Amino acid sequence: LALAGSPGGGQHYDYYGWQPESQPHGRFYGREPQCLDIPPDMQLCRDVGYKRMRLPNLLEHETLAEAKQQASSWVPLLAKQCHTDTQLFLCSLFAPVCLDRPVYPCRSLCEVVRDSCAPVMESYGFPWPEMLHCGKFPSDHELCIAVQFGNSKVTPPPVSKICTQCEMEHKADGMMEQMCSSDFVVKMRIKEMTEENGERRLVAAQKKKVLKLGPLKRKDTKKMVLHMRNAGACPCPQLDSLSGSFLVMGRKVGGRLLLLAIYPWQKHNKEMKFAVKFMFSYPCPLYHPLLYGAGQH
């Protein structure tokens, strides 16, 4: 790990001089910290580059089960590759390296990951969470985990990178996981598509088939308008032609319908047919992945 602000003679560093604002002084010493192997089923951090983690972690998770469950919500963000140091930043909190003292991520590491990844989260209707507020973390001249694999600048998305909502799963299990954690699933035709303020706006044709209603009201389905956040400039191959029907999944956030995923309807696609037929018998997880989760309205 690259540590910023680490003095030559570590014994002179006043470690107790910095505590996160949201926690009482000495919070981590209410219970004796322990070192554990990072479990292989902790997908977020199992290949982070070190083998042992500290509990309680730096997000106040006191059990391994709690840390694993909460960390799993962030795996989809890691898959989006919004910044090269996303895993380093998240794992420094969820599975902090086992040293003789807790070492927090530097504020600059938080800021560069936030600035690169927050737009991806916003596409799905999620704000950057308060628990990751960068102002809580130490400045670079204090002992902390610095930007390592990336650089201190925001990683610009490649011009050719496909819109987040247009990345398709090709197996039934992947589609059903999206369906599980989407508020609604609809088969529909698209009447028109417009772009405004960095968003695409899809207007559904009158005839549609609601496969999962969720929190939608009659007015939502009668005149259905779907919004694709941060998707004004990125390509979406399945929307190059608006002919035919589409399978769409989304969330209702603040009265608006956000599109999370879109597929061309293919009646001979066995994976899609299986997913639609068995979506309600699929064993949905009790928690929802961050980028698809319902319930945060």
pLDDT digits (tens, 9 = 90+) for 155-204: 555 445 788 899 888 899 889 888 887 899 999 999 999 999 889 999 99
82 Rama sector, left if φ>0, alpha if ψ -120 to 50, beta otherwise: alpha
CA distances from 229 to 123, 226, 247 (A): 5, 10, 18
Q: Looking at domain 164-281, which of 3.30.2130.10, 3.30.365.10, 2.40.50.120, 3.40.228.10 is its CATH number?
A: 2.40.50.120
Intervals of the chain under pLDDT 70: 1-3, 5-31, 149-160, 285-297
Q: Given this model, what pLDDT does residue 32 score?
A: 82
What is the per-residue pLDDT for 133?
A: 95
| 190 within 8 A of 202, measured Cβ to Cβ | yes
pTM: 0.69
Calpha distance 260→230 (Å, rounded): 12
Phi-psi map region of 83: left, alpha, beta (phi>0 left; psi -120 to 50 alpha): beta
Q: How far apart are CA 113 and CA 148, in angstroms?
A: 11
pLDDT for position 15: 34
- Radius of gyration, alpha carbons of the chain: 22
Every domain of the chain and the residues it spans: 3-145, 164-281
Neighbours of 38 (CB within 10 A): 23
User: Hey, which CATH number is domain 3-145, 2.40.50.140, 3.40.50.2300, 1.10.40.50, 1.10.2000.10?
Assistant: 1.10.2000.10
Domains 3-145 and 164-281 share a fold: no
